[in-house]
Amino acid sequence: MSMTPLQCRAARALLDWTQPKLADAAKLGLSTIVDFEKQRRGTISDDAKAAIRTALEAAGVEFINGTGLKLRT
């Protein structure tokens, strides 16, 4: 399932994570996170999106119905 830049920013906010923290957790460069969230690049790779989503889910974020998200309880 895909993830939007808005969902990425919202998920970071739920976790109180900075962009560098997410980059470290996803094992990606900070510029990849910044560019994705600010939609600077046309597209980041599916592998990079999957790494971001995996890191957020591992920290407790649940993606709901394709557009929503919440913290696992």
Percent of the chain with pLDDT over 90: 73
- The residue extents of the domains of the chain are 5-71
Quick one: pLDDT band at residue 17, thresholds 50, 70, 90? very high
Q: How far, in Å, CA of 64 to CA of 23, rounded?
A: 23
Task: Name the packing angle between helices 46-58 and 19-26 (round to 10°).
Answer: 100
pLDDT tens per residue, range 23-41: 999 999 999 999 999 987 6
Cα angle vertex 25, ends 20, 31, to 5°? 40
Q: Are 22 and 12 in contact (CB under 8 A)?
A: yes
Please state which CATH number belongs to domain 5-71.
1.10.260.40
Residues 37-61 have a mean pLDDT of 90
Which of 43, 53, 56 is CA-nearest to residue 2?
53
- What average pLDDT is seen over the chain? 91
Residues 47-69 have a mean pLDDT of 92
